[in-house]
Amino acid sequence: MNNFWEKLPKPFFALAPMADVTDPAFRRIVADCSRHGEVGGGPDVFWTEFVSADGLASAGREVLKRDLEYTESERPIVAQLFSSHVDQMRTAAKLCAELGFDGIDINMGCPDRSIEKQGAGAAMIKTFEIAKDIIQATKDGIKDAGKDIPVSVKTRVGYNTVIIESWIPHLIAQDISALTIHARTRKELSKVPAHWEHVRHVVAIRDRMGLKTKIIGNGDVMDVAHGKQLAQESGCDGIMIGRAVFGNPWIFDHHRVVTKRPKKMNIFLAKILPRKWMKKLQGSDRYTLSEVPLKDKLETLVIHTKLFEQLLGDFKNFSIMKKHYKAYAHGFPGAKELRIALMETSNSEEVEKVVKDFLHNF
């Protein structure tokens, strides 16, 4: 097997798959800003956004394939799929293998209601046998393509309660190459701090079973230094960074100084308040800030916007970019006013003008 997982350093760092975030445009920005492929650069592994295997197996596949576009500069890159239907997963896995991906990952952790209604995502945690069949279907699809690439899974520690001792051995026993553990249950969503002791428990189970599955920890990782600390404490092989990459595509550059980390959530408030309220309370304190000259940061924002329009503008809504603007425009005088102006834009030309005017008057 052409198993790239075995060639990675320990700990390695991965870009988390996030819907309407880690699209082809943003992945290219991250690769460039974080010096991917250079000494001290990263991430070591890229993930696509999750893509519906059912959709890829249908007549509408051509549109969905746009989410799977990648460049050689992003290798190794893993395609993430979701489905609860064996035939569709096999077809989609064959397609992804033919497209040249270095691996295929199965999403068994997404809490989105629409995904769960399909029996996929976090709903898989309640259907052990279907999860097993989906993993096998993925392997079969890869073989159908005449390829030999690794299969991995991303999941949570349980649905309503922690079921590590039953769920994790079941997955690892399927001979998967890597397992990403989001250290929360589906019920907890991202409202409470990640329980990294659960990652340590998963590592112990893997070791007890005598298998070589790479264990990747995920949840509330603030930056590379924090990730290294968590890896040492938990014993995991890799670290996945998600939300901390917002507005900070430089985050995987090990040589880049982090000047600000997110403030920790108040656990009591996090449990009782809706997530959107908590985001408002945290404001810009929920972002990681790397040492980047303001001009470089805002010019990257413009390049990101142009790339989004170029690659995805004909079928994705421009408003997707605005979640990035909220994150790029913080941590400096006038950031609030700049954010407000950026929220009023509808194309890259308007964004470029807003940024040029801001820098001229700064």
Active-site residues, by number, are 110
DSSP assignments along 280-339, one per residue: HHHGGGGS-EE---HHHHHHHHHHHHHHHHHHHTTTS-GGGGHHHHHHHS-SSTTHHHHH
Separation of CA 51 from chain center: 12
d(CA 182, CA 148): 27
Q: Which two tokens stand for residue 273?
A: 């308040």
Which residues sit opposite 81 in a β-bridge?
51, 106
Nearest residue to 327 via CA among 266, 285, 265 = 285
> CA-to-CA distance for 43 and 15, rounded, in angstroms?
6
**Which residues 6+ apart lie within 8 Å of 349 measured at CB?**
none
Return the sign of the alpha-carbon dihedral for residues 159, 162, 167, 172: positive
DSSP assignment string, 242-259: -GGGTT-TTTT-TTSPEE
Burial class (CB in 10 A: 0-12, 13-18, 19+), 59: exposed
How far is 171 from 244, CA to CA, in rounded Å? 28
Q: How far apart are the first and last CA of the chain?
A: 54
DSSP 22: S
